[in-house]
Amino acid sequence: MIGPGTAPEPPAELSHAGAVVDKAIEYMVGQNIGTLAIASALLGGALEMLASDMDDAGIVQVLQNAIESVRAGELRGNRAR
């Protein structure tokens, strides 16, 4: 059982994918690609991936969850990139 404030461990596949994305971001920053261009490319690629497995309503829900995270301030700690 998971207690309050305790997040479950992400699946290994998700951790691996995250590590690969982090390395890709590091590489693009090293190539002097702007952060907005990097983020836009990653978001576009992510949306294409979602579209291959989800219907439009599912994609909208994912985006709505992201909007709620931004509004809740959950991303503020990550702005130091």
Average pLDDT over the chain, rounded to an integer: 88
Contacts of 50 (CB under 8 A, 6+ apart): 58, 59, 62
pTM of the model: 0.71
pLDDT, tens digit, 9 for 90 and up, residues 28-52: 999 999 999 999 999 999 999 999 9
N residues, the chain: 81
* Residue 34 token pair: 């702007």
Answer whether residue 80 shows pLDDT above 90. Answer: no
Cβ(25)–Cβ(38) below 8 Å: yes
By percentage, how much of the chain surpasses pLDDT 90?
Answer: 77
Cβ(78)–Cβ(65) below 8 Å: no
Q: By C-alpha distance, which of 51, 20, 50, 25 is closest to 37?
A: 25
